Structure formats: C-alpha cells, structure tokens
Structure 1
C-alpha cells in the first residue's frame, strides 16, 4: 500500500526548514540541496512542492509574515488604541532571537521583491493589511482622547513601518549595537510625542 503524504504538512515543514537555513546560511548559502539535506530529503524531493528557491523564499516570507500576524493577534487581543499599537509594533520589531531569524528571511525577500513583480505584489498586500490594522488602532486612540496631536494618521503609520522594518535591517547587520532595549526606547519616545 502506498504511503499517504500530507502535502500541506510537507510544504510547511519545508518552509520551516528553509527559513532556518536562510537565517543561518544567508540566501546564497541556502541551496535547494542544503534545504533538502536539512529536511532529510533527497535533493529532487523538493521539486513537487517548490519549483525553485525563489518559490521557497516567497513561501518562507509568507510563513514569517503569518507568524508575526499570529503574535500580533495574541498580543493585541485585549488591547485597544495606543496600547494595541505599541504591542503590535513590539511583535514586528526584532526583539528576540526568533524575530531576528525572521528578519534574516525578510531582508533577502525585499531584495527579490525589487525586481520580481509577484513578490512586490505579495509584499504590498501584506503591508496594506498592517496599515489597515495600525490605522484602526490610531483611530481608537484618537476616539479615546489619548492621541491629541494634529498629525495625519497615515504619516504616523508610515513612520512606524519605516521604524519597525528598518529595525529588522539594523538588527541583522548590527545586532550588538541595536539592542531590544534601544528599539523599545525609540518606539516609546515616538509614541509619546503623539
């Protein structure tokens, strides 16, 4: 009797292996052979699931994005307004080893998205989702009377996205100089100005 394979579970397993290999070895060191070896498969066994390393990278980025969204859902569940916005940003910032590993996936994905329209569209959709959530938290904070500065909310969101995404780059390139405490201090200083 042939072995029954759960293809969705296998794809997820390969994605999890891929993002850890990329995080350790970089995008260039994460060959299909290396990923297959870490997953315990023969090199050709990846082809039915992902046609190329670029497909694996896109799936790995989406996996990291989904993990971040799961964390933000949990951390903002009982919060609103500015507290929810702060908690949301904390989950995006690379404040621990797992989130730094995630940043090591995000950064090479951005490089690919510069020249690949599909990846650029994937990223744009994901960022639109985050913008919507952040704008909602800002509106709640205004409704609660917590934010009083007459600054346009989309400008606040753009600043926070630049800050959190920039922190991912800095944490990957300069981990010793860009500590979690410094990231939180910078975020809190900006939010206090609102």
Structure 2
C-alpha cells in the first residue's frame, strides 16, 4: 500500500494543530453543548455556612446547596423568563411549606388576565410539592409538576426544581438558610 505524497504532507502539517487543540474542542458539535453545570465552592459566595447555603446560578441553571454538616447537592433548575423578572443578590429562606397553594401576583395577572386567581395544592399547582419562600416578596424556590420547565427560562422570578429534588432540599435546608441568586 502506498500513501500519496500529498496525504503525507497534509497530515504532517495538520498534526501539530490537532495535538495542541484540547480534546473537548475536537469533539463534533457546537460549543453551546458544553455544559457549565459544575460543582462550586461555597467560600467564593458566602462568609460562612451557618445554617446552610444555597447558590442559584441563573447562568448555568443550577442550584447548589451546602449544609452545615458538609452535605453538598447540585440540582438542575428553571430560571426566570426575562432579566426584568430576575432578582439577584443575598436573601434567606424565611418559611417553608409542604403542598403549597398558589395565587398569581398582580403583575402576573396584568401580563396574563386568563390566569386563575387561586390554585389549590395538587398536580395543577405551579409550585409543585414543596415551596421555600425567600426574604424577597413573591420569590420562591419550589418544585414543579411540569418537568419540561427545568433547564429553561420558564418562571416569573422563582427558581424551580424537579419535585423529587425540591423534596430532598426541603428536608436539608432550614429556615434561615442563606441564599444567593447569581
């Protein structure tokens, strides 16, 4: 078997470039498919753990939890639909509720007058099976029955989790757990 000179020459010229390119960049597909969903260290975001700490990273659509006992959890989340619905900064969990009910805010009704004025607990409730209310009025970390919302901009300001994840977090996170939305 003979290899044409042109093939040898092109291979020799391309080899250094291929060897210096990270393997990740050689994989077929657009760069947008490379996930930013990765572990974080709490120390860059909080002075201490205290009762626990939650970081909702809206860019990577991930919620990180650190417990005072050293527990660490990482959950995929939904995020607000638009930047003007997004609140960023530090707050804390001020109350928790199993099987929450839901009432849309006045701004939600203004944006969509067809919304029901009240939804009782259950499979139609947009807050899922658990809700952790933050120090900011109308901002909640909650579950969802609509699993298509996770990983997408789909909320009116809240951070949504799969119901099984919010149930786990609900047991771990105490009232007073510090929260940062980034």
Superposition TM-score, scaled by structure 2 size: 0.23
- Larger relative contact order (CA 8 Å, sep ≥ 6): 2
Q: Which structure carries more strand by proportion?
A: 2
Structure (1 or 2) with the larger CA radius of gyration: 2
Q: Which structure carries more helix by proportion?
A: 1
Superposition TM-score, scaled by structure 1 size: 0.22
